[in-house]
Amino acid sequence: MPELPEVQTIVNDLQILTGDTITGFWTDFEKAIKTRNFKKALVGEKIKSIKRLSKNIVIELSSNNAIIIHLKMTGKLLINKQVSTNNLQQKHLHHIFSLKKNNALVFSDIRKFATLELISRDKLSEIEKTKGVDPFSKDFTLETFSKIITKHKNKNIKSILMNQAAIAGIGNIYASEIPYDAKLNPMRKLSSLTSTEIRLLHHSILKILTKAIEMRGTSISDYRDANGKKGGFQNQLKVYGKAGKKCHKCDTIIAKETVEQRSTFYCPTCQK
DNA sequence: CTCGGAGCCTGTCTGC
DNA sequence: TGCAGACAGGCTCCGA
């Protein structure tokens, strides 16, 4: 599910929980929780800040520990006060954080891939070091990006975009949409890119992710923001999920190929 | 070391 | 209509 724009949208929505206190925790799926005594360590803690780390949501607590959540494919975090409960949400509701001011933060997850963990500040710094550069950090310059391209010169565009240790936050949807915007074939080997093409790709990463955040993310089927609403970027998708349809620029049929076990979509004419 | 493949789960869609 | 199989936004682990 959520890639950078979706996680960022959720994190933005969750900001209203800053300063609130966790008063309880309930779960019916312990397996998702990677920390022992999770509940005990949480209750009574105040939420200091909520931020995004790659595709993770990090809730920093007054104890200096942090809850780190990965939504994986179908995880949803919903501020309960503003959510209409329907049967589907109830069925897949697996964790609830009770809160003093905002009633509750509800966690649902159809495929049960999502994980929650309580980590120390040191552990958080360690995890941060394993992540590549975030496209929205000041470090994501053309120069840095060019170095990443050089370092992974034997890989292709799709795989470098998906590599979290190189560039943090891009997943399978945007890893198809970004090359389309840059008019580059996702299977192009990085060593073959000219400096102009590298600049185009760098530009498209920022352009597409920025637009997607403005539209509050992409809802293919399951993704919802923290208020339970769909995003809008699915209406802007040019190639993802469009195999067999015409490219809106040139009428060529959009192709689908598997790259590293993930579906990849592109226009064979527009993308060189 | 890198790399491909399996695995984690449930739901939906397609084709026979 | 029934049902098997493929596929789905992510990531980790394992063996070769």
- pLDDT tens track for A156-185: 999 999 999 999 999 999 999 999 999 999
- A2 closest-nt by C1' vs CA: C9
Rounded, the Å distance between the CA of A226 and C1' of C2 is: 38
Any bridge partners for residue A53, and if so which?
Answer: A56
Rounded, the Å distance between the CA of A214 and C1' of C2 is: 44
A4-130 has CATH 3.20.190.10 classification: yes
Question: Annotated active-site positions of A, please?
Answer: 2-3, 55, 262
Closest by Cα among A197, A233, A255, A216 to A8: A216
- pLDDT tens track for A91-117: 899 999 999 999 899 999 999 999 999
Band of pLDDT at residue A86, cut at 50, 70 and 90: low
How far is the CA of A127 from the CAs of A36, A47, A167, in angstroms? 19, 20, 14
Rounded, the Å distance between the CA of A172 and C1' of B1 is: 26
How far is the CA of A36 from the CAs of A31, A40, A81, in angstroms? 11, 9, 29
CATH annotation of A142-266: 1.10.8.50
Q: Sketch the domain layout of chain A as residue ranges.
A: 4-130, 142-266
Indicate if CB(A131) is under 7 A from strand C.
no
pTM of the shown model: 0.96
Instruction: Provide the terminal-to-terminal Cα distance of chain A, rounded to the nearest Å.
Output: 28
